Amino acid sequence: MLSADDSGRCSKRSKDDKTWKPLSLLEDQNVFSSVLQFSGCCWKNLRATSKHFQSAVDSLLKLLVVRPGASKSTILLLLGHAPEISTLVLDGVDAVDNEVLMKVITKCYNLTYLSVAYCQNFDASVFRAKPDKLKVNIHGCWKLLSPHPTMSPLTVIENQLLAFKASAKGACEEGVEKVLAYMSPSRKSLLKGVFSPVLQSKFQPLSSYQSFCIRRLNLSSRLMPEAGVAFLVTVNSGERVQSFVWLLSIERSFSSLTGCWLTDLIHPVDQPADSL
């Protein structure tokens, strides 16, 4: 049985008498580990129990998930208290940059899994120092990703949508280039029209959306390229909802892109999504 005394330390009662004796966390790791697991995400509260608790809690922390709004200083502070961490999730955290990732890679010696999905403020050079045992999830990091045979049609569309949005947020040229990188070479000239002043109003929702939804369509073979797939992409800007049909097929002509899913056509549609 555990109890906290006035000093904030845990104690346990001896079987032979009714007195309470101090519980040494370092000597009874099994007991403390159970307390930590039972407490779940109450890491901060447990650390505040006492100074004796802090080092024990920190040494048992293996998984850390950081909220998207966390600052760089907060992330670095957390890492300083997690010497044994093996899994770190930084998905969507804007503060993640080369400096933060370099600290993570070089200071978290036991780290085996790092997720930086949808983080955009770092480049691939930071991973040159990555140890072989560390696996990194870069899903949604459109700047780092390029067409690849293992990339699904859904991921191709998502990367293009992220690049479209970036093209309106100060990364115009880079965003446009990445959108075009996922376009079928034989049809790339068609997509370039998306960025022309004449068609800009029709495709503007692709760069100003707040959320998007992707749904697979079943279209007749006469409307589809050979071995192609179609998706309905609906973007919501808060004031306007617009749908687009996305046609993709596997590239077979260009050797450097052979086997990759690429976009053949992006076309705005007026009818409601339920009618397709």
Q: Are residues 155 and 257 in the same domain?
A: yes
Q: Are residues 128 and 211 in the same domain?
A: no
Look at the pTM and tell me if it is higher than 0.85.
Answer: no
**End-of-domain residue from the set 143, 163, 197:** 143
Q: Are residues 125 and 153 in the same domain?
A: no
Q: Are residues 130 and 211 in the same domain?
A: no
Each residue's pLDDT, cut to its tens digit, for the chain (276 residues) gives 433 444 444 444 445 555 444 444 444 444 444 444 434 445 566 566 556 666 666 677 788 889 898 999 989 888 887 878 899 999 999 999 999 999 999 888 899 999 999 999 999 999 988 899 999 999 999 999 999 999 999 999 999 999 988 877 655 778 888 988 999 987 776 666 565 554 566 788 888 899 999 999 886 555 555 658 999 999 998 888 999 999 999 998 888 899 999 999 888 887 554 444
Q: Are residues 123 and 186 in the same domain?
A: no
Query: Token pair for residue 114?
Result: 């790092």
Residues spanned by the domain of 125: 30-143
Q: Are residues 182 and 245 in the same domain?
A: yes
Q: Is the residue at 20 inside a domain? A: no
Q: Are residues 222 and 127 in the same domain?
A: no
Q: Is the residue at 16 inside a domain? A: no
**End-of-domain residue from the set 90, 111, 143:** 143
Q: Are residues 124 and 173 in the same domain?
A: no
Q: Is the residue at 175 inside a domain? A: yes
Q: Is the residue at 14 inside a domain? A: no
Q: Are residues 75 and 130 in the same domain?
A: yes
Q: Is the residue at 70 inside a domain? A: yes
Q: Are residues 191 and 167 in the same domain?
A: yes
For the chain, how many structural domains are there in total?
A: 2
Q: Are residues 72 and 110 in the same domain?
A: yes
Q: Are residues 265 and 154 in the same domain?
A: yes
